[in-house]
Amino acid sequence: MHIPSAPTADIALLTFDEALERSGRSDRYDTGRWLYVPDFYADYRYILGTRGARPLICIGINPSTAEPGNLDPTLKSVERIAAHNGFDSFIMFNVYAQRATRPEDMEREMNRLLHRENMAAFAYVLAHSGPAPAVWAAWGNIIETRDYLKECLLDMIGLGRRYGAVWYTAGARSKKGHPHHPLYLKKDSGLDPFDAAAYCENCL
């Protein structure tokens, strides 16, 4: 369980570039296998995943407790779905980078600095995921937890368009049209095309 220690505006945040430059030096995990930014446990996380030429980029709402070699049930499901669908790696990314196990513990107001750096991290992931990066929409109804999450997601979809991202979902949509969260999927779930622009128009 992770409960934020303070609003992210009140803590010292590394920019994504600073966090990326410092990552990969730890002896606490296999840095040849894992991409973890920042590579220490904090109240925020930009990226957690494995290194490969063709990753599946999974988009959740916000990070919880997972770290390299210590995945939570959601990340274990992401890892299985990526492997089942022919990807050689996975990246767990989030609409908002504040770490909180319970979405209701997320801060009430968006920290625009944190959002800006999270978008820099998303651009990095897209740019290093080959042509037509595969992006799995997997945030569920949690997108409705905070109003600012919709603005963050719209920025992500715009970035995806610039990098030629191809969006997918897995499993049935919710009654409100939101894509399914990974935690409750079958191990052999396949991916289906997802029209991110239409989703924005109809569900956000």
Instruction: Give dist(CA 42, CA 40) in Å, integer.
Output: 6
| Every domain of the chain and the residues it spans | 8-203
Helical axes 148-162 vs 196-203, angle rounded to 10°? 160
The residues with which 195 forms a beta bridge, in sequence order, are none
pLDDT at 183: 87
| CA angle in degrees (0–180, nearest 5) for 72-203-4 | 35
**pLDDT tens column, 38-50:** 999 999 999 999 9
Token pair 């513990």 is at which residue?
A: 105
pLDDT band for position 150 (cuts 50, 70, 90): very high
Q: Report yes or no: 163 and 194 within 8 Å, Cβ to Cβ.
A: no
